Amino acid sequence: MAARFAGAGKTVAIIERDKFGGTCVNTGCTPTKTLVASAYTIHTARRGAEYGFSVGDLRVDMTRVKARKDAASTTSSKGVEEWLRGMANCTVIQGQASFQSANTVVVNDEVLEAGKIFINVGGRARIPDMPGVHDVPFLTNSSMMDLDVLPAHFIIVGGSYVGLEFAQIYRRFGSEVTVIEMGPRLIGREDEDISDAVREILEAEGIHVRLNAKCISLEKREAGVAVGITCEDGPPEVVGSHVLLAVGRVPNTSDLGLDRAGVTIDHRGYIVVDDQLQTNVPGIWALGDCNGRGAFTHTAYNDYEIVADNLFNADHRRVSDRIQAYGLFIDPPLGRCGMTDADVRKSARPALAVKFPMSQVGRAEEKGETQGFIKICVDAETKQILGAAILGVGGDEVIHVLLDAMYAKAPYTVIERAMNIHPTVSEFLPTILAKLEPFA
């Protein structure tokens, strides 16, 4: 946004209180996907015998793993910072910004006045008010970034996207890992068959999963931290060396002086915006995680595109035009787009569906990575794709074939007519789509 305005000859100030690049670059996507890559390589090396090699005594050096991760984040963060600092018409200010009024922002005792203000403050890990939480050392996705030792027993509270990625990463590094989830299944927003398959994948690697943990409490012990659980079965507590709290995010909106600007927030602190991301105050927009309309880097970036196209191109793009899409970057990854089965059922529309195991996909077999499945749901009348999930090798990339067809509002039959590259996972989509049956 800064570059777009600066490039158009406008005077821009960008205010950052911490590291440039925000959550994604410093404590989110970039470092975790770098760690996922280390964990994947280590896991593959352990499976060497299956592929025809041996590595002898495999030792994970957490200092080097961390150094690799830090290098990726630092390069990205510094790149963003240098780019901004070298930008004509753009002033970079380091400090905590807060509103003084609807058109003035204070930072480091300096008052800036502007006709257009874009709030893009993101969020942070939610620290739930569970018993004992203030008496024990715990980790969040941010403090995890400083960890350069291998936890002996890593307890992860929260069986959703952030928690599961860290669970598999650290299990592959060599920790004992227990995931404690309040709900009856992991990644509760997904369909049950996806939750179950993900749980099977993680348990097959030796990760312990404790569900239905209704009353979680924390207590300091000599060996680390005891996490109290009320589960349907299993011991009432788990004692671990380290605990990660991965139970959701909260927006960074409480210290922004939004009341002085008159900007409305909802009961969870998210800034209320309309379909074009304008707040209730003319001249103030809210983008990214802080508006509660998305929780991903691509939704934050899409927010920028929507606002910029509205302002610069009179192209009336709207948030409601976008199709839900995201990845869960465990191995194998889950690529998701559009409606879940539960959404389709609720919509009560006539639909066709197919579910196909990755074990029957040639490319997966060749790679020795056959876990998971592909499932696709289409509208029986329009033949347009309603939603899909690809839990399997390449799922995070292959899902875009279906997502692009959805944006094109094309019937699924166009995918059947395409000539695909062999051998790939994508080449199986026509075969899979040929097996569509009435949605049950």
Ligand X SMILES: Cc1cc2nc3c(=O)[nH]c(=O)nc-3n(C[C@H](O)[C@H](O)[C@H](O)COP(=O)(O)OP(=O)(O)OC[C@H]3O[C@@H](n4cnc5c(N)ncnc54)[C@H](O)[C@@H]3O)c2cc1C
Radius of gyration for the alpha carbons in the chain, expressed in angstroms and rounded: 23
Count residues binding ligand X (CB under 6 A).
29
Among 28, 158, 335, 372, binds ligand X (CB under 6 A): 28
Among 5, 173, 329, 439, binds ligand X (CB under 6 A): 329
- The dihedrals phi and psi of 428, each to the nearest 5 degrees, come to -80, -15
Between 247 and 393, CB nearer to ligand X: 247
Binding of ligand X by 340 (CB under 6 A)? no
Between 226 and 333, CB nearer to ligand X: 333
Q: What residue has token string 């509270």?
A: 157
Among 6, 29, 84, 271, binds ligand X (CB under 6 A): 29
Binding of ligand X by 337 (CB under 6 A)? no
We find the least distance from the C-beta atom of residue 163 to ligand X, in angstroms, to be: 9
Among 2, 6, 97, 405, binds ligand X (CB under 6 A): 97
Binding of ligand X by 189 (CB under 6 A)? no
We find the least distance from the C-beta atom of residue 36 to ligand X, in angstroms, to be: 9
Between 252 and 371, CB nearer to ligand X: 252
Piece of the chain touching ligand X by CB under 6 A; list 2-10, 121-129, 371-379, 398-406: 121-129
Binding of ligand X by 32 (CB under 6 A)? yes
Binding of ligand X by 24 (CB under 6 A)? yes
String of contacts with ligand X for each residue 224-263, x by CB under 6 A: ----------------------------x---x-------
Between 251 and 439, CB nearer to ligand X: 251
Report the C-alpha gap between 240 and 227 in whole angstroms: 8
Contact 167, 156 (CB under 8 A): yes
Report the C-alpha gap between 422 and 428 in whole angstroms: 9
Report the C-alpha gap between 408 and 157 in whole angstroms: 40
Q: Residue 416 corresponds to which tokens in the numbers above? A: 């059947």
- The dihedrals phi and psi of 348, each to the nearest 5 degrees, come to 60, 25
Piece of the chain touching ligand X by CB under 6 A; list 29-37, 43-51, 173-181, 345-353: 29-37
Among 12, 23, 279, 425, binds ligand X (CB under 6 A): 23
Between 251 and 392, CB nearer to ligand X: 251
- The dihedrals phi and psi of 408, each to the nearest 5 degrees, come to -75, -5
Piece of the chain touching ligand X by CB under 6 A; list 18-26, 191-199, 210-218, 418-426: 18-26
Report the C-alpha gap between 90 and 92 in whole angstroms: 6
Report the C-alpha gap between 193 and 184 in whole angstroms: 13
HSE of 43, CA atoms in CB hemisphere, 13 A: 21
Ramachandran sector of residue 359 (left: φ over 0; alpha: ψ -120 to 50; beta: rest): alpha
Contact 431, 422 (CB under 8 A): no
The SS3 call for residue 224 is strand
Question: Closest Cα to residue 41, out of 68, 75, 76, 71?
Answer: 68
Tell which positions 136-155 bind ligand X, by CB under 6 A: 141
DSSP classification of residue 392: S
Q: What residue has token string 């991903």?
A: 296
Tell which positions 154-173 bind ligand X, by CB under 6 A: 162
Among 6, 12, 16, 341, binds ligand X (CB under 6 A): 16
Among 73, 90, 117, 122, binds ligand X (CB under 6 A): 122
Binding of ligand X by 96 (CB under 6 A)? yes
Report the C-alpha gap between 194 and 53 in whole angstroms: 33
Report the C-alpha gap between 57 and 60 in whole angstroms: 10
Report the C-alpha gap between 374 and 359 in whole angstroms: 10
Binding of ligand X by 121 (CB under 6 A)? yes
Contact 374, 388 (CB under 8 A): yes
* E strand or H helix at 243: strand 242-245
**Alpha helices (H) along 205-265:** 258-261
String of contacts with ligand X for each residue 267-306, x by CB under 6 A: ---------------------xx-----xxxx-x------
Tell which positions 34-73 bind ligand X, by CB under 6 A: none
We find the least distance from the C-beta atom of residue 30 to ligand X, in angstroms, to be: 8
Q: Which residues bind ligand X (CB under 6 A)?
A: 15-18, 22-24, 28-29, 32-33, 96-97, 120-123, 141, 162, 252, 256, 288-289, 295-298, 300, 329
